[in-house]
């Protein structure tokens, strides 16, 4: 069966949807019953996984396998699209009112439950064993971290109960791809960004296997933190969708718990679990920037692999049924929130858990105890599987704002910062470019205190606890610089990447580190006379200088520190730590249309 070659050209991304006449497929694991493969404690390989989807593509008009970009090892990142009406163009799908559900598998290939479950799910949907809803488009990324999947061996997940062969968490650059959605270092993430922004999924699911405590549940679930998601979507997720998913899974024989996220590493679940705050570095946190109702499925590592795959398939079936039944409500909530954000004047960029608000959730656990470790001699937490329990545990799922910023009309990004511009374009951000050099009064930040990681984290020295000083200042801009209006669907993405205090901003990830290094200095033997004149001409500075010498003994003993203090407070000192992204308030596109193209 041949399908028509389709060219989808949306903004900055171009998909070459390759659909070819499939001949004889190599008879290997693909031809076997995948459930039998799983029962043998084996997960499907990347090659066999893609062959399985190619076979489904060739045999079904409601399925299409797309090569949707490249990965760090040059292998294509595939997207498998299920559409009962045969609509495989995201623009047409949205125009016809289709709701889009996206499933991401194998971001951590050693956690392959979703990989196998999605093939089985697709087979069931296309065979008619499960109804393929006509109002949904289902997009499946078969294996995201292809690099780590091909690096498969027996022993990458030390505490996990199968499968026999396990992929590796890091990709070819040793990046954890579930920390890469903002910094976008990998080709995988760049390809994903284009897929995500083209299809704009209403519901997004990222499949995983948990680490941590022992308990009876096979499946736990992370729902995007509802306060952070906010608005109609956050309320709908917390009060309607998440409870309905839990009830449906219990009927399927898989009673769930919220993801077992304990406050301390060695704290048992009955001491309380906390709603996971997924910042935009994570897949679900990134999805939430665009008002997608995002979830992370987490099967329990100690349950047998075949049972975990069964639970994941059941969970995905529940998602599909619920999303189809509530498609209009979900899309309406997203649209309402997008409109509300565009008219907002402020936005929360960081959160903290509210320990004063707690709910009780049913939990199926095992009694815990402490015993001296024969290795360390220290008390070690253990769980007694011979003593299961069913009781309510405290669940802290309310967060409050810890940092809020005012929303400008525009962000101005100088063209010099090409890495930032590249990611803005990948995310299909609307922008204008200045057509001539100009000087404009803008809101600017100076970076004050911040903390830097002592070791690299995912290829960067992460910044945290950043403080800024804001002031209005006349700024020189150049033809070609970018003026980016915030009145667009990508408003949250812009705020949470460009505001330096946000936990996953590009400043936090070190994209602007060069502004933190001083470039000009002085020669003490020359500057000494200048310093005397500067103090003589500035009585206030002289007073602060003398006071500092009296109150700080180390300062009083260091001639260089004293001269440097004067230098820092003189006209000779450079504009150090000036954050190079500017903000413009109270302006419309029309106000600056003559400056931009």
Strand partners, 166: 153
Query: Do residues 249 and 256 lie in contact, with contact meaning Cβ atoms separated by under 8 Å?
Result: yes
Query: Do residues 323 and 237 lie in contact, with contact meaning Cβ atoms separated by under 8 Å?
Result: no
Query: Do residues 584 and 442 lie in contact, with contact meaning Cβ atoms separated by under 8 Å?
Result: yes
DSSP state of 153: B
Per-residue pLDDT reduced to its tens digit, 222-267: 999 999 999 999 999 999 999 999 999 999 999 999 999 998 878 9
Domains with residue ranges and CATH for the chain = 6-343 (3.40.630.10), 409-518+576-592 (no CATH), 524-568 (no CATH)
Give φ, ψ of 99 to 5 degrees. Answer: -95, 135
pLDDT > 90? residue 23: no
C-alpha torsion sign, points 446, 448, 452, 458: negative
CB contact set of 456 (below 8 Å; sequence gap of 6+):
none
Residue 591's pLDDT band (cuts 50, 70, 90): low
Give how far Cα 268 sits from Cα of 174, 212, 218, Å.
Answer: 31, 9, 17
pTM: predicted TM-score of the whole model, two decimal places: 0.92
pLDDT > 80? residue 166: yes
E strand segments, 45-199 = 63-70, 76-83, 99-104, 136-141
Buried b (16+ CB within 10 A) or exposed e, 400-416: eeeeebebbbbbbbbee
Give φ, ψ of 366 to 5 degrees. Answer: -125, 140
- Retrieve residue 473's tokens: 């200042």
pLDDT of residue 597: 61
Cα R_g (the chain), whole angstroms: 27
Per-residue pLDDT reduced to its tens digit, 119-148: 999 999 999 999 999 999 999 999 999 999
Strand partners, 383: 368
Name the more confident of 31 and 460: 460
Provide the CB-side half-sphere exposure for 132 (13 A, CA): 21
Query: Do residues 570 and 534 lie in contact, with contact meaning Cβ atoms separated by under 8 Å?
Result: yes
Buried b (16+ CB within 10 A) or exposed e, 93-102: bbeeebbbbb
Phi/psi zone of residue 328: left (φ > 0), alpha (ψ -120 to 50 degrees), beta?
alpha
Residue 75's pLDDT band (cuts 50, 70, 90): very high
Phi/psi zone of residue 231: left (φ > 0), alpha (ψ -120 to 50 degrees), beta?
left
Query: Do residues 169 and 259 lie in contact, with contact meaning Cβ atoms separated by under 8 Å?
Result: no
Residue 589's pLDDT band (cuts 50, 70, 90): low
Give how far Cα 349 sits from Cα of 159, 224, 486, 542, Å.
Answer: 36, 15, 15, 40
- Retrieve residue 507's tokens: 């400043």
Give how far Cα 452 sits from Cα of 402, 448, 516, Å.
Answer: 20, 13, 12
CA distance 522 to 401: 44
Per-residue pLDDT reduced to its tens digit, 352-365: 999 999 999 999 99
Give how far Cα 164 sits from Cα of 108, 172, 218, 302, 515, Å.
Answer: 16, 22, 19, 14, 49
Q: Which residue shows structure tokens 């024989």? A: 253
Share of the chain above pLDDT 70, in %: 93
């Amino acid at each position: 069966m041949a399908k028509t070659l389709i060219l989808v050209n949306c903004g900055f991304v171009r998909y070459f949807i390759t659909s070819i006449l499939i001949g004889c497929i190599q008879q290997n694991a693909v031809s076997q019953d995948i459930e039998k493969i799983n029962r043998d404690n084996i997960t499907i390989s990347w090659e066999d996984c893609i062959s399985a989807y190619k076979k489904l593509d060739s045999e079904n008009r409601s399925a299409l396998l797309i090569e949707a970009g490249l990965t760090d090892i040059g292998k294509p990142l595939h997207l498998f699209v299920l559409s009962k009406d045969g609509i495989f163009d995201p623009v047409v799908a949205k125009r016809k009112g289709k709701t889009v559900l996206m499933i991401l598998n194998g971001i951590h290939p050693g956690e392959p439950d979703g990989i196998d479950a999605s093939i089985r799910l697709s087979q069931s949907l296309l065979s008619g064993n499960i109804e393929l809803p006509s109002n949904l488009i289902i997009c499946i990324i078969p294996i995201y971290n292809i690099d780590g999947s091909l690096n498969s061996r027996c022993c990458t997940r030390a505490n996990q109960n199968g499968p026999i062969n396990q992929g590796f968490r890091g990709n070819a650059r040793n990046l954890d791809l579930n920390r890469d959605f903002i910094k976008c270092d990998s080709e995988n993430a760049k390809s994903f960004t284009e897929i995500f922004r083209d299809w704009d999924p209403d519901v997004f699911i990222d499949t995983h296997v948990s680490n941590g405590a022992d308990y009876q549940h096979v499946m736990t679930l992370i729902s995007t933190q509802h306060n952070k998601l906010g608005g109609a979507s956050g309320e709908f997720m917390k009060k309607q969708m998440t409870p309905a998913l839990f009830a449906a899974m219990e009927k399927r024989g898989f009673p769930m718990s919220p993801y077992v996220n304990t406050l301390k590493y060695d704290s048992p679940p009955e001491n309380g679990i906390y709603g996971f705050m997924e910042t935009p570095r994570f897949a679900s946190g990134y999805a939430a920037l665009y008002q997608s109702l995002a979830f992370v499925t987490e099967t329990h590592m100690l349950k047998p692999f075949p049972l975990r795959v069964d639970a994941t398939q059941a969970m995905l079936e529940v998602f599909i049924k619920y999303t189809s039944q509530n498609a209009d409500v979900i899309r309406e909530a997203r649209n309402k929130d997008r409109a509300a954000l565009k008219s907002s004047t402020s936005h929360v960029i960081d959160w903290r858990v509210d320990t004063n608000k707690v709910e009780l959730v049913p939990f199926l656990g095992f009694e815990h105890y402490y015993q001296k470790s024969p290795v360390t001699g220290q008390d070690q937490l253990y769980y007694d599987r011979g003593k299961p329990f069913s009781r309510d545990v405290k669940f802290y799922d309310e967060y409050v704002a810890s940092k809020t910023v005012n929303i400008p009309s525009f962000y101005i990004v100088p063209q010099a910062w090409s890495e930032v511009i590249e990611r803005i374009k990948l995310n299909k951000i609307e922008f204008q470019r200045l057509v001539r050099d100009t000087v404009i009064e803008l809101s600017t930040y100076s970076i004050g205190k911040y903390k830097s990681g002592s070791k690299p984290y995912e290829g960067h020295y992460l910044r945290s606890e950043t403080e800024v000083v804001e002031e209005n200042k006349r700024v020189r801009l150049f033809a070609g610089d970018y003026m980016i209006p915030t009145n667009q669907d990508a408003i949250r993405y812009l705020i949470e990447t460009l505001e330096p205090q946000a936990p996953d901003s590009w400043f936090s990830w070190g994209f602007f580190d060069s502004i933190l290094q001083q470039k000009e200095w002085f020669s003490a033997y020359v500057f000494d006379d200048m310093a005397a004149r500067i103090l003589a001409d500035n009585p206030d500075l002289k007073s602060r200088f003398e006071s500092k010498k009296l109150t700080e003994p180390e300062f009083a003993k260091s001639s260089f520190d004293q001269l440097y203090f004067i230098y820092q407070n003189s006209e000779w000192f450079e504009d150090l730590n000036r954050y190079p992204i500017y903000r413009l308030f109270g302006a419309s596109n029309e106000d600056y249309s003559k400056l931009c193209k």
